[in-house]
Amino acid sequence: MTVLNWPLAIVWVSVAILAFFVFRREGRPGLKAAGQNALGIGKTLMIRLPLALLAASFLVQIVPVETMSKLIGPQSGFGGIVLASLLGGILPGGPMTSFPIAIVFQQSGAGLPQMVALICGWSIFAMHRILSWEAPIMGWRFVALRLATSVTLPVLAAYAAAAIVAIFDA
């Protein structure tokens, strides 16, 4: 399958290194607390994750993702980049649901800069996250300030990505 093994090796090595530092500072109780923390989040994901993957898998069948992918193809230029940023912003939920949908966009012909704009749009504008976390905790004025500073970022990132590709292809 598409699983790359070196990132997996890197993460597990980092787990070992971090565990070593925690052990040196706090001994066994520190490791136990860290494990319990991980297990706590893992438990909430245990139900949510399979459901989210299942929902995304069904949604991909229903939503005309392939038609939308054509609108954000490699030839779609600035308009496609802006559209992709907006699409990213309305992708539902966390990475559990958004990334499986993003794969379909990627595989059905979205352009690379447009995909970068999509992922950045999702990271920056995520509606779901603003409504359930940012606004309640930080207030709407803060949300407004952050959106004002970030509104052009996905487009900048898309052009930077296009430039990177151009440099490496040359």
Residue 33 CB, shortest distance to other proteins, in Å, is 6
* Interface region with other proteins, contact rule CB under 8 A, candidates 17-25, 72-80, 82-90: 17-25
Specify the residue for token string 């989040």.
41
- The answer to whether residue 14 forms part of the interface with other proteins (CB under 8 A) is yes
| Distance between CA atoms of residues 127 and 134, nearest Å | 10
Q: Label residues 13-27 b or e (16+ Cβ within 10 Å = b).
A: eeeeeeeeebeeeee
Residue 81 CB contacts under 8 Å (≥ 6 apart), including other chains: 72, 113, 114, 117, 154, 155, 158, 159
Q: Does residue 94 touch other proteins according to CB under 8 A?
A: yes
Total residues binding other proteins (CB under 8 A): 91
Of the residues 78, 79, 90, 95, which one makes contact with other proteins according to CB under 8 A: 95
Q: Provide the minimum distance between the beta carbon of 81 and other proteins in the complex, in angstroms, as a whole number.
A: 12
Of 22, 68, 71, 86, the one binding other proteins by CB under 8 A: 22
Which residues from 108-167 bind other proteins, rule CB under 8 A? 112, 115-116, 119-120, 123-124, 126, 129, 132-134, 136-139, 141-142, 144-146, 148-150, 153, 156-158, 160-161, 164-165
Nearer to other proteins, 71 or 153 (CB): 153
**CA distances from residue 37 to 19, 31, 43, 95 in whole angstroms, order as listed:** 13, 10, 10, 20
Q: Which residues contact 161 (CB under 8 A, 6 or more apart)?
A: 112, 113, 116
